[in-house]
Amino acid sequence: MRACKVTEKIYALHADIETEDLFEGIWPIPDGVSLNSYLVKGETSCALIDLVRDWCKAPDELCKQLASIDVAIEDVNYLILNHMEPDHTGWLAEFKKLNPKVVIVATAKALELVKSFYKIEENLRAVKTGDTLDLGGIRLVFEEAPNLHWPETMVTYEPESGTLFSCDAFGSFGKLTNRIFDDEYYSEDLKNFEDETLRYYANIVASFGIFVKRAIEKLSKLDIKIVAPSHGLIWREKPSVIINRYLKYANYMDGPREKEVCVVWGSMYGNTRDGLEYVLKGLEDEHVPYTMFRVPNEDVSFVLAEAYRCEGIIMAMPTYEYKMFPPMGYVIDIFERKHIWNRKALRIGSYGWVGGAQKDYDNRIAPLKWEHVEPLEWAGQPDESTGKLLRERGRELARRVKG
C-alpha cells in the first residue's frame, strides 16, 4: 500500500494487523486493527507522528509507505510520540538505530518512559501544552491530554488544516485496507466500525472516561476539521461523528445509557439456561431488548462492550463448588476494572447439591454498586412456580431499566 495524502503536507501511513494475537495480550481482534502514523512534510524538515510495534511486519509496511512518498527513515527530523504504549513505540529502538539523529518529541513523562522502555537518552525534546514545532510553512501545536489513555499522553494539532492527531482517542478496532477515510465507506461498513469503536472504547479506554470528557472539553476550543487517530478511520468528512460518539461513550459511565439489557449467562447442564428462558419472557412482556452472551464461550471483550452501553444486566449462573460458576468471576473483575457501575441488575441461578453462588456473587459485585432486583435461586430444574417467579423478576428488571 502507498501513503495516502490527507492534505498537501500531511500523509497517512498505516499497517493493518490481522492476527490471532490478542490486543494488549487480552482483547481479540477478529477484524484486525490498524496502526496509523502520519508524516508531516514542511519546507525545512519533516516529522513522523506515532510509530508502530514490530507486529505482523508493521515496520516493513511503514518503510514501504514512506518510500512511496520519497521519504526514508533517516530523512525524518522529528519523531513525535503522542503516547508511549508499545503498539505505537515498540519499534522505537530499531528506528533510532536507523536514524540516530532524529529528535524525539513527547511530554516530559513520556520521555521518562522512552528512557526506561528503550534506553534512549539523547535528542529528546520535552513539550507541554501550547508548545509548537515549526517545520517550515507548517506548524504543529501540542496539547497534553493526560490519561487518554495513560498519564503521559498528548495530542498534536496542525492549525492550518485543522488536523488533530489524537493517537488512541477517537480510535477503533478494525483494519482499514486501502480505504482510510470516513467518506470512503458505505453506511453498513461504517456500522461495523461503530461496533468496533464501542468495543475498542469499552476494552481500552473505558477506565478513563472522566479524562475523555475533560479532553473533549479542552479540545472543543480547537477548530477540528480532520480527526486523525492512530487506530481506525480518519474522519475528514464528518469529524463531529467520532467526537460525539466518544462523548456519548464517556457519558455511559454515569448515564444515561441505552434502555436495553445485557444478558450474561453460564450453565453447566442446562438448568440455569432453562430458568433464564422465563426471565427473557419477562423482558419481552415489557418490550425491552436484550442481547445474550454465554461465558466462557464468548470472549469477555464483547460482553464488556454491550454491558458498557446497557442500563440493565442479567447475571445467570449456577453454583459451582460452593461458589459462582468460575467464568463469571472474571467477567465481574473486568466489569469492576472498566467501571461498569450503577446498573439495574438481576442475578439468578440453579444449584445441585448445595448453594453458595449468591453469597460469593454478593461479595464480588458489591464495589460496582448495582441496584438489584431480588435474586432467585432454585434446586435442579425450574418448576412451574419457579418459572412464574422468574418471569416476574424479568418484568421487574425491565420496568426498572425503562425508568
Q: Does 338 bind ligand FEO (CB under 6 A)?
A: no
Cβ atoms < 10 Å from Cβ of 119? 9
SS3 153: coil
CB of 89 to ligand FEO, least distance (A): 9
Q: How far apart are CA 306 and CA 52, in angstroms?
A: 29
Q: Considering only 64-72, 81-89, 300-308, 314-322, which stretch makes contact with ligand FEO by CB under 6 A?
A: 81-89
CB of 229 to ligand FEO, least distance (A): 9
Among 9, 52, 73, 87, binds ligand FEO (CB under 6 A): 87
Q: How far apart are CA 290 and CA 304, in angstroms?
A: 14
Q: How far apart are CA 49 and CA 335, in angstroms?
A: 33
CB of 85 to ligand FEO, least distance (A): 3
CB of 101 to ligand FEO, least distance (A): 27
Q: How far apart are CA 154 and CA 106, in angstroms?
A: 8
Q: Helix/strand/coil (H, E, C) string of 202-260?
A: HHHHHHHHHHHHHHHHHHCCCCCCEEEECCCCEECCCHHHHHHHHHHHHHHCCCCCEEE
Q: Considering only 9-17, 85-93, 311-319, 338-346, which stretch makes contact with ligand FEO by CB under 6 A?
A: 85-93
Among 41, 53, 83, 391, binds ligand FEO (CB under 6 A): 83
Cβ proximity to ligand FEO: between 6 and 84 the closer is: 84
Residue 248 and residue 241 in contact, taking contact as beta carbons nearer than 8 Å: no
Q: How far apart are CA 58 and CA 65, in angstroms?
A: 11
List the one residue out of 185, 175, 201 whose CA is nearest residue 306. 201
Among 168, 182, 306, 360, binds ligand FEO (CB under 6 A): 168
Return phi, psi of residue 305, to 5°: -60, -45
Which cell numbers in the block locate residue 342?
A: 450503577
Q: How far apart are CA 384 and CA 374, in angstroms?
A: 19
Number of residues that bind ligand FEO (CB under 6 A): 8
Q: Considering only 79-87, 241-249, 292-300, 389-397, which stretch makes contact with ligand FEO by CB under 6 A?
A: 79-87
**Residue 223-242 contact track with ligand FEO, rule CB under 6 A, x = bound:** -------xx-----------
Q: Considering only 80-88, 220-228, 319-327, 332-340, which stretch makes contact with ligand FEO by CB under 6 A?
A: 80-88
Cβ proximity to ligand FEO: between 29 and 280 the closer is: 29
CB of 38 to ligand FEO, least distance (A): 14
Q: How far apart are CA 225 and CA 240, in angstroms?
A: 9
Residue 186 and residue 168 in contact, taking contact as beta carbons nearer than 8 Å: no
Residue 160 and residue 168 in contact, taking contact as beta carbons nearer than 8 Å: no
Residue 341 and residue 253 in contact, taking contact as beta carbons nearer than 8 Å: yes
Cβ proximity to ligand FEO: between 85 and 306 the closer is: 85
Q: How far apart are CA 154 and CA 161, in angstroms?
A: 19
CB of 61 to ligand FEO, least distance (A): 16
Which 122-151 residues touch ligand FEO, going by CB under 6 A? 149
Cβ proximity to ligand FEO: between 168 and 196 the closer is: 168
CB of 50 to ligand FEO, least distance (A): 9
Return phi, psi of residue 389, to 5°: -65, -40
CB of 58 to ligand FEO, least distance (A): 12
Cβ proximity to ligand FEO: between 216 and 398 the closer is: 216
Which 358-387 residues touch ligand FEO, going by CB under 6 A? none
Q: Does 152 bind ligand FEO (CB under 6 A)?
A: no
Cβ proximity to ligand FEO: between 88 and 96 the closer is: 88
Q: Does 88 bind ligand FEO (CB under 6 A)?
A: yes
Among 11, 76, 79, 85, binds ligand FEO (CB under 6 A): 85
**Closest residue to ligand FEO using C-beta atoms:** 85
DSSP 337-373: HTT--S-EEEEEEEESS---HHHHHHHHHGGG--EEP
Contact set with ligand FEO (CB under 6 A): 83, 85, 87-88, 149, 168, 230-231
